[in-house]
Every structure is written in structure tokens, then in C-alpha cells.
């Protein structure tokens, strides 16, 4: 059975970003076992009411297994409703694990790649190598969850963004166990803030400006001088609405491409009465698409491999990875030109 949504938290899915998928399980506070398969290995990640509590592979356990799983490519995910573990062994926030995983494998890649000996640092990198953003690109939404690491404390705290005065300060919920002005970090204390937003890890440095306890327990921190980010997705996806024809199950049917990236797209299409068993064999099948991208000269014809599929309310949605674009220059250019056209006006998803 294909994975439809987190309300029916069972099934198998391929082609999704594991980090984003785990975030979804955490947000939905699900209890389940995530099985991850590659050609050479298999791993399990255990969730109890949205908390990642344990992990293992065929040869590794706990945090070591978890970091290994997060590095795997070309995976298939299987979700089971039941969980055999009840004790929280990991004891780390999921976002912290994702940050550390990205940092660890970036460092590992740097160590494995040959280069100028004079350019290789003598000590391992301590921070994620992130691209600097301008303040105008600071796009965190009110209510987004944050991780706070204070310079003089070894514990990572959870908080949420509740207000912004651009150029002056950010307003956060005061994390537990801090309660007010007489508790918690002193004014001037430095801290690092991290968050995961639409497939991108953001991190920045700041300092505490003050705390209040009335009418709510809130913390003021300095607006960051610079913001850094690390992409988890290979390609950013953008919302769109493109009428298309898709060849599925031996017939061509009408549909709409709802989002697109340089690597693939999601298409919602009409269903037929004979489609009851179609989803069972659709995973990894090849779909042919025909559409006209706004701004292009003619009809584009391209292929995609189905990575996930679902059916709901008389519609079928498929997520596909584009195939053979390197040999189809006109189509590749049409897709890239369209993405460039909407990049500054369409919301990334």
C-alpha cells in the first residue's frame, strides 16, 4: 500500500527526503517504526508520540545507526504503525540530530576530497559550512520552532518565534525551565539559534537582550547580523499550476502539475473507475508528460519515474523524478527557464 498521509501512517514510499519525512512524523506526533531500505542495508527508526527514541541498522545501534541512515541515498521507506521500543535512548531533539548529521557528513566529504595541503584545516570543522544570506532573505515565519544553544549551557532548549522587529530584535517564547527576569540567561549571553524551514536548515548567532514574565514569558534577542543556511533538498520546489497530459496505466489523462523543481514535479490527475489497483504497481513506473510551459515556444514532452503516489477524493497524485533531461536540451531549457521565471514570485514548498 502506498503512503497517503500521516493520518494513515502505514505503507511504503520512495523518492522522498528522509529528513523532511522525519520532521513530518515528529510534527504529527505519531507512534510508528520507520524502516529504511537500500540495496545493501536496512535500518529502523522508532518514534513514540512524535519523539525519535531509537534507531538501528544491520550492524549499528542508536545514534551511530541514526547518522548512518541519514547518509543513505536512493532509499525506500516503509512505515509500520507499531513500535517495539518504548525507552528514549537517543535523548536528542530531531532538529539537533539533522544539524549534526549535515555537519558530520560535510566534514567527512571535505576530508575525503583531495586538495591543496595548505588549505586543509588542522582541526575538524566545528560548524556546518553554510552559505551566508542577506538579512532581507530572513524569511522565518511567526510560530516556527527553534533550537537554542546558549554559550554557557550544555543543554539545547526548544522555543518558538513569536515576533520580529527587523534590524532590532527577535521575540521568542522563553524556554523552560526559564521563567522570567530573575531566571534564565543574563542579558548579553550569546547563543546560537537553529531551525528547519521548508527543507533548509537556518542558523545564526545572537545575544540575549532581556526577558519578561508578564503578560507572557518572552525573551528578546538581538536581530542577527548574518543568517546562514544549509540546503537539505537537492532542488528547491516551487508551486505552480500547469495543465498537462500524463500517460498512466496505458491511457493518457488530464492533470495539473502543482509543483516543480529542476529534478522533478508533482502532478494531480483525474482517475478512472478501473484505477482501483493501479497504485499498487505504479511505484518506479515511468510516466510520459505533455504540457506547455509559460514562456516557451511549444509543447514539451518528457518522462518521469514515479517516486510516490496517492489517491484521494477522485484524484490521483504522483511525485516523479525527471528522466533523460541531459539528452533533451530543449525540454531541459524550458523547465529551467520556467523555474527561473517563477523563482522570485512563487513560494518554495
Last-in-domain residue among 231, 249, 273: 231
256 and 331 part of one domain: yes
pLDDT at position 277 is 66
Short-list 217, 318, 269, CA closest to 15: 318
Question: Based on the domain organization, do 185 and 213 belong to the same domain?
Answer: yes
Does residue 24 sit in helix, strand or coil?
Answer: helix
**Does any domain span residue 261?**
yes
Determine the 3-state secondary structure of 325 from DSSP.
Answer: helix
- 256 shares its domain with 214: no
> Model-level pTM greater than 0.75?
no
Q: Are residues 223 and 243 in the same domain?
A: no
Are residue 204 and residue 270 in the same domain, yes or no? no
- The phi and psi torsions of 82 (rounded to 5 degrees) equal -85, 155
Residue 84, in any domain of the structure:
yes
Per-residue pLDDT tens digits of the chain, which is 349 residues long: 333 333 344 456 666 677 777 877 887 788 888 898 888 889 999 998 888 889 999 888 888 888 888 888 888 888 887 777 778 888 878 777 877 777 666 555 544 544 433 333 333 323 333 333 444 344 567 778 888 888 878 778 888 888 887 778 888 888 876 644 456 788 899 998 888 766 667 788 899 998 887 777 888 999 887 777 655 556 677 888 889 999 887 788 889 998 888 889 999 988 877 766 666 677 788 999 999 988 777 889 999 998 888 877 778 888 899 998 888 888 998 898 888 877 655 444 5
Boundaries of domain holding 329: 238-342
Query: Is residue 334 situated within a structural domain?
Result: yes
Residue 110: inside a domain? no
* Final residue belonging to a domain, choices 211, 231, 251: 231
What is the pLDDT, as a whole number, of residue 126? 33
Instruction: Domain count for the chain, please give it.
Output: 3
**What are 216's three cell numbers?**
507572557
DSSP secondary structure string for all residues of 179-239: -STTSSSPTT-EEEEEEEETTEEEEEEEEEEEEE-SSS-EEEEEPPS-EEEEE-SSS--EE
Give the strand pairing for 264-270 and 251-260: antiparallel
Q: Copy the grid coordinates of residue 134.
A: 542577506
Q: Is 124 domain-assigned? A: no
Q: Are 215 and 290 found together in one domain? A: no
Together in a domain, 227 and 242: no
Here the CATH number for the domain that contains residue 195 is 2.30.110.10
Amino acid at each position: 500500500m502506498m503512503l497517503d498521509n500521516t493520518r494513515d501512517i502505514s505503507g511504503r514510499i520512495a523518492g522522498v527526503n528522509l529528513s523532511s519525512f522525519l520532521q513530518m512524523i515528529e510534527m504529527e506526533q505519531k507512534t510508528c517504526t520507520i524502516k529504511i531500505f537500500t540495496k545493501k542495508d536496512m535500518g529502523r527508526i522508532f518514534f513514540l508520540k512524535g519523539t525519535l527514541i531509537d534507531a538501528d541498522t544491520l550492524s549499528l545501534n542508536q545514534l551511530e545507526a541514526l547518522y548512518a541512515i541519514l547518509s543513505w541515498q536512493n532509499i525506500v521507506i516503509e512505515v509500520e504503525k507499531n513500535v517495539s521500543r518504548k525507552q528514549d535512548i537517543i535523548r536528542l531533539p530531531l532538529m539537533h540530530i539533522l544539524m549534526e548529521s549535515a555537519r558530520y557528513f560535510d566534514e567527512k566529504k571535505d576530508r575525503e576530497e583531495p586538495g591543496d595541503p595548505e588549505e586543509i584545516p588542522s582541526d575538524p570543522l566545528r560548524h556546518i559550512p553554510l552559505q551566508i544570506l542577506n538579512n532581507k532573505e530572513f524569511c522565518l515565519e511567526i510560530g516556527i520552532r527553534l533550537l537554542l544553544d546558549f554559550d554557557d549551557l550544555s543543554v539545547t532548549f526548544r522555543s518558538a518565534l513569536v515576533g520580529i522587529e527587523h534590524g532590532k530584535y527577535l521575540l521568542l517564547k522563553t524556554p523552560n525551565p526559564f521563567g522570567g527576569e530573575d531566571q534564565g540567561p543574563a542579558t548579553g549571553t550569546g547563543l546560537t539559534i537553529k531551525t528547519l524551514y521548508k527543507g533548509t536548515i537556518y542558523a545564526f548567532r545572537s545575544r540575549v537582550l532581556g526577558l519578561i514574565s508578564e503578560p507572557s514569558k518572552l525573551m528578546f534577542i538581538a536581530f542577527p547580523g548574518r543568517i546562514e543556511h544549509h540546503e537539505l533538498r537537492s532542488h528547491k520546489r516551487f508551486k505552480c499550476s500547469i495543465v498537462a497530459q500524463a500517460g498512466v496505466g496505458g491511457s493518457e489523462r488530464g492533470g495539473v502539475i502543482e509543483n516543480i523543481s529542476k529534478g522533478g514535479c508533482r502532478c494531480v490527475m483525474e482517475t478512472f473507475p478501473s484505477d482501483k489497483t493501479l497504485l499498487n504497481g505504479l511505484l518506479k513506473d515511468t510516466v510520459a508528460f505533455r504540457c506547455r510551459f509559460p514562456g516557451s515556444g511549444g509543447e514539451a514532452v518528457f518522462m518521469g519515474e514515479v517516486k510516490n503516489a496517492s489517491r484521494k477524493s477522485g484524484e490521483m497524485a504522483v511525485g516523479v523524478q525527471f528522466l533523460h533531461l541531459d539528452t533533451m536540451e530543449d525540454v531541459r531549457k524550458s523547465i529551467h527557464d520556467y523555474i527561473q521565471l517563477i523563482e522570485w514570485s512563487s513560494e518554495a514548498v
